[in-house]
Chain A
């Protein structure tokens, strides 16, 4: 019960007045961001990176975690009341939640979502406490080739699993890796892609890339296609649940996290797939299957619990392996790098106060969120009426503040705009943004690990696969890459068998 003691110490860190304040600010900001259209949690954390320059890392990460969880809570409010999901994870909530709100059961839908998030977050965080130290201790001996293998896995997973088109994902990844190349080579000091510019020799700051791609790119993209008529949110009272509803929701609340957590922990799992899986599961198990599509409360409760649990799962791989599986985790990893902290198996040994304070604050944040969201839901819903010009002008404004605060140079604003325009073009042509961000953040580190591994093996490529860990990881990579081929093969085999059977029956008959 070593981790239990550490967790109690963590509560000591999390419950100091200052850190409680950061947690409260985080969940408030996060809920607002989740409710507001156009701002996702990744953009929010990216915009807040410069704010935290003056903070100690523990406070900063407590706030970021609050934003992450809070945005999940808030996103479902938008889904249910406006039928426009704020976060991709909240798409499923709109399917059942919005019909419920239209039928006058909005309060129940909001309550089912909020408690679902609470249950999912709690169960997910408990699993995080149990699993993370074990994973970290298993991974403690890993060296350069293993790190490189993990990063290759991250690259492949983020380009192959997410999005509709692999080739577009790879193009996006390459753009990110190229931005990561700019600057002085870390091992030899050689200038790369600097074109003689002294400013570029320092490299392009990750904050500027993240803010440019997420905030500027998004604001410009929305500006080009701004919906002139915004839907009106359905008015709603205080969320509450009757006994009959409770009887229908408690099982989905417990099943959702079981589906959500593992998907959060695997690379590029994210929250979209598990929320959908949870929805399908609840539909199959429900006694009220005829209500699905017209406002079944199980279809809100299960997926929302899965979404929050997947956020906890994301933290497992981020904290123990330094492997970001979602956009928010990627930006948080960039924040770790800013503080000079390397997330990975050693994090639990080197920074116990930070890690356990962060984990404990997740529990605190969950309670704060439930206390805030149940009574305040009608107030949050008012945020939906903010005039869109102010919203997107505000995003551009804070993006400029953030980029300027990095180094106090107006040239950074120009770079920010250029990267924002790249982000705009990527959205236009269906290149996913996440691979680019992962490429910028992990690219330089991956190159360093690759070169270190090859230095040890004296240039022999076998140096990359000489540990069981790395071989396992590469096996997973091969599986991911070959998956579509395998799938096609299975389909063809089945089809072949079917035609064979048919011909047999034909010839037999």
Chain B
């Protein structure tokens, strides 16, 4: 398995990916789109030197998937680095130690990152997932995603001090608000009802404890 993962690294890097890949690696995959890439692959599209800067930017925007390649590469480096810094001499049992599998996974990550980059440069695109409520014709609504992420993070912070009933209600109300619901009377009531109901079902009926917080202290 190991040789399989290191050998075909040919197209991208001169050095074996296992060793000094750390600093050199990301630069390799990130490199083509910035400098060498546009004249080579998008050759017929670029008009002249004057529009080269803007052309490179749109070129990159159409290939944001290269960012995925960079992330995968970075993950591979991370896994390999973690395996390399392991001290294994303490309790090695059997011929295969705790480092082997991480080495294989890390190596495969580097390989997949490179192959995916090649695929993207050749014009391959990952197909965004459809769904019943998904409308892919319009651009992504980042504001909603950011709001939801913020609400969720706030819940993680507040669940300790405020307890589940309050934090859970805030999570539901905040999420519904972020998703576009504006019934200021109905939304909080539903949120509070759902949160309290869930708290009692989990705590009393299912035997899964959730923190009551100050509210339950009062009641």
Contacts and interface: CB of A to CB of B under 8 A. Distances in A.
B112 A171 contact: yes
A195 to B, nearest CB: 8
Contact of B72 (A165, A171, A193, A455): A171
Name the residue in B153, B155, B207, B211 with the highest tally of chain A Cβ atoms < 10 Å from its Cβ. B155
B171 A451 contact: no
Given A181-B101, A425-B68, A404 B153 contact: no
Contacts of B90: 188, 190
Contacts of B116: 167-168, 171
Contacts of A225: 134-136, 138, 140-141
B169 to A, nearest CB: 9
Contact of A170 (B96, B112, B126, B129): B112
B156 A410 contact: yes
Nearest to A417: B152
A190 B157 CA distance: 31
Nearest to B211: A408
B41 interface: no
B179 A427 contact: no
Nearest to A463: B95
A397 B168 contact: yes
A392 B175 contact: yes
Contacts of A188: 88, 90-93, 97-98
B110 to A, nearest CB: 10
Contacts of B175: 389, 392-393, 396-397
B127 interface: yes
A387 B180 CA distance: 10
B95 A421 contact: no
B210 to A, nearest CB: 7
Contact of B179 (A221, A388, A397, A401): A388
Nearest to A230: B133
* Band of interface residues on A: 35 or more
A492 to B, nearest CB: 20
B134 A458 contact: no
B194 interface: yes
Contacts of B102: 181, 192-193
Contacts of A85: 132
A50 B201 CA distance: 12
B103 to A, nearest CB: 11
B184 interface: no
A175 B65 contact: no
Nearest to A398: B198
A48 to B, nearest CB: 11
Contact of A390 (B65, B127, B181, B208): B181
DSSP class of B's interface residues: helix, strand, loop or mixed? Answer: helix
Contact of A408 (B131, B149, B209): B209
A454 B95 contact: yes
B79 interface: yes
A398 B68 CA distance: 30
B183 to A, nearest CB: 9
Interface in B140-192: 140-142, 144-145, 148-149, 152-153, 155-157, 159-160, 164, 168, 171-173, 175-181, 190
Interface in B56-89: 65, 68, 72, 75, 78-79, 82-83, 86, 88
A37 interface: yes
A208 to B, nearest CB: 13
Contacts of B206: 51, 53-55
A413 B155 CA distance: 8
Interface in A283-323: none
A223 B124 CA distance: 26
Nearest to A414: B156
Interface stretch (A2-10, A267-275, A428-436): A428-436
Given A178-B79, A224-B144, A455 B126 contact: no
A427 B194 contact: no
Contact of A430 (B98, B127, B156): B127
B135 to A, nearest CB: 4
B160 A193 contact: no
A454 B202 contact: no
A460 to B, nearest CB: 8
Contacts of A392: 175, 179
Q: Please list the 9 inter-chain residue pairs (A to B) with the smallest Cβ-Cβ separation, ordered nearest first.
A: A430-B126, A459-B95, A37-B132, A455-B94, A393-B175, A389-B181, A389-B179, A413-B156, A54-B207
23 contacts: A51-B208, A55-B206, A171-B72, A171-B116, A174-B108, A178-B75, A178-B105, A191-B86, A192-B83, A227-B133, A390-B176, A393-B172, A393-B175, A393-B181, A401-B198, A411-B156, A413-B156, A414-B153, A417-B149, A417-B152, A421-B149, A429-B128, A454-B96
Given A165-B119, A188-B98, A401-B210, 8 more contacts: A54-B207, A171-B72, A224-B140, A226-B180, A398-B198, A401-B202, A427-B128, A455-B96
